[in-house]
Structure 1
């Protein structure tokens, strides 16, 4: 079956919406929402992703997903059958819904691990490195994330979802994620109980200690609620966007690579191989001597301070 890839039309729409939000902010007393140098850096990385993405997706997604699908779902007497014994899934409407739900579950864990494993964070920090929260930030994506993201989704074609369906669901997820990056959409009542919304994503992009590593969901917020990473926006807290160790540069290459450089420098702080391993694969902020703290450690300290106060 032939499918329209959602991002084929999504990319031009992204640019139009960025332009509209930019114009609105500059003409409605919110001139600081966009910083020209920051926007230029974000768009540069977005264009790079748009150029590199198709090549990587062709090699790693389309080829990989089809290989896995064929391997785990061989044809037996003309019927595509999963090695576990069930008939591989077709294209019924309810299968699409199940695939999108499975995609959302996978996105949650993919996104969460990007915050939990430092070498993955080194690729993902690019998206969080801006002090601005706007639709321009939405396209500020690390190029190296594309190298490992498909690996998280391999289980979907393995259990019988057609590769084309998985790729379309990935595109739909990306469209939803893009539009979340706006401060102009307020809390939406009942919708907030089910979906990951704009205010929830503001929390995700905040560097306030109590907000860090929260709201990793894609469409839905149920997985954050189940696994303990959900946090509602507190309108009494002045939100600060960005990361605690920012690249302090508008140079796209510096933004893309600065955390890898920091990892390399940190591995030289100790001769212990376990320490070196943890600086690469441990949580961001881990240190063998306590000179830097992980998010959980910082949140624990903040909780103790509040209790004492």
Structure 2
């Protein structure tokens, strides 16, 4: 069975909603919420680049990787697609879609969390956080390298017996939800805050305030953040500062895309010890062999100790 990725219809909506939010923010003249033109153009350039690369990665993920894993772990036995663990591979019942979407959300949480915890992955993901503005334009500010390793966090789902095309649709739905979270104009949503990852929670995620950093990695749901200790509610008394502590200081898309890789290389040259070099690339951002810089967890620990 063939399905269309919902992002095919989402992209025109993204552009329209960016225009609506841009117009609204300008009319209300709230300076800290306004778009900055150079920043917006940089975000759109990177978003367009991601859109161009998307068909390639979709082919790699859906047709090659997901399909290959599905075929290996779910061979046909007497005409019936059967998982190697013994159960019949899943069809397209409505509850199978819901389960697949839940598993997709679980995978997204760990994919997103590791993007913040492993520096070489952070080097790709920092692009999305590098803007000092939080708006729908920032939502399309995507790194071009993330999409090459993202599918590996999801390949276990077709291995269980979920059809690859179903997973691709769920990934698209997840992306649609993530897009609309990037706005400051939606307030807290009452009882929905108990279950879903909402706009205020995503404001926390994009903040560089120390108490907010590395929080709220969820996609649709906030349950995994709550289970694994990374959930944080928005505190209206805290003045949010968006962006990253080591920004690219440039609107050049190529600089934004590559500046953290350059920083990793420069850090690796600080020590001749190969273990140190490895850790500069694969430890948490901020790790240093001499304590000259600290990870977020180390900084937060010191902050709590000094309260």
TM class by shorter chain equals over 0.9
* Deviation for aligned residue 1:60: 3.0
d(CA) in 2 for partners of 1:258, 1:174: 25
**Counterpart in the other structure of 1:15:** 15
* Deviation for aligned residue 1:5: 1.2
Match status 1:186 vs 2:184: no
Q: Over aligned residues, Cα RMSD in angstroms?
A: 0.7
d(CA) in 1 for partners of 2:232, 2:104: 22
The question of whether the paired residues in 1 share the 8 Å contact of 2:284 and 2:295 is answered with yes
**Counterpart in the other structure of 2:67:** 66
d(CA) in 2 for partners of 1:92, 1:238: 46
**Counterpart in the other structure of 2:265:** 264
d(CA) in 1 for partners of 2:263, 2:95: 46
**Counterpart in the other structure of 2:144:** 143
Q: Structure 1: which 5+ residue stretches go unaligned?
A: none
**Counterpart in the other structure of 1:158:** 159
Show CA shifts across 1:15-71 (max 9, x none). Answer: 000000000000112244200000000000000000011112112333210111011
**Counterpart in the other structure of 2:304:** 303
Question: Counterparts in 2 of 1:195-206, with a 5 A limit?
Answer: 195-206=196-207
d(CA) in 2 for partners of 1:111, 1:256: 18
Question: Counterparts in 2 of 1:244-283, with a 5 A limit?
Answer: 244-283=245-284
SS at match of 1:220: coil
Relative to structure 1, the CA distance from residue 264 to residue 61 in structure 2 (aligned partners, 3 Å threshold; closer, same or farther) is: farther
**Counterpart in the other structure of 2:170:** 169
Show CA shifts across 1:54-101 (max 9, x none). Answer: 112112333210111011000000100000110000000000000000
Question: TM-score, normalized by length of structure 2?
Answer: 0.99
Match status 1:212 vs 2:213: yes
Show CA shifts across 1:135-159 (max 9, x none). Answer: 0000000000011000100000001
d(CA) in 1 for partners of 2:103, 2:207: 27
Question: TM-score, normalized by length of structure 1?
Answer: 0.98
Show CA shifts across 1:113-137 (max 9, x none). Answer: 0000000000000000000000000
**Counterpart in the other structure of 2:111:** 110
SS at match of 1:231: coil
Show CA shifts across 1:225-282 (max 9, x none). Answer: 0000000000000000000000000000000000000000000000111111100000
d(CA) in 2 for partners of 1:271, 1:135: 43
d(CA) in 2 for partners of 1:60, 1:4: 15
d(CA) in 2 for partners of 1:60, 1:2: 15
d(CA) in 2 for partners of 1:54, 1:260: 25
Show CA shifts across 1:157-194 (max 9, x none). Answer: 00100000000000000000000000000001100000
Q: Structure 2: which 5+ residue stretches go unaligned?
A: none
**Counterpart in the other structure of 2:79:** 78
d(CA) in 1 for partners of 2:157, 2:61: 14
Runs of 4+ in 1 over 3 A off after TM superposition: none
d(CA) in 1 for partners of 2:302, 2:197: 28
**Counterpart in the other structure of 2:240:** 239
The question of whether the paired residues in 1 share the 8 Å contact of 2:62 and 2:165 is answered with no
d(CA) in 2 for partners of 1:257, 1:184: 31
- Number of residues paired by the alignment? 306
**Counterpart in the other structure of 2:58:** 57
d(CA) in 2 for partners of 1:61, 1:115: 25
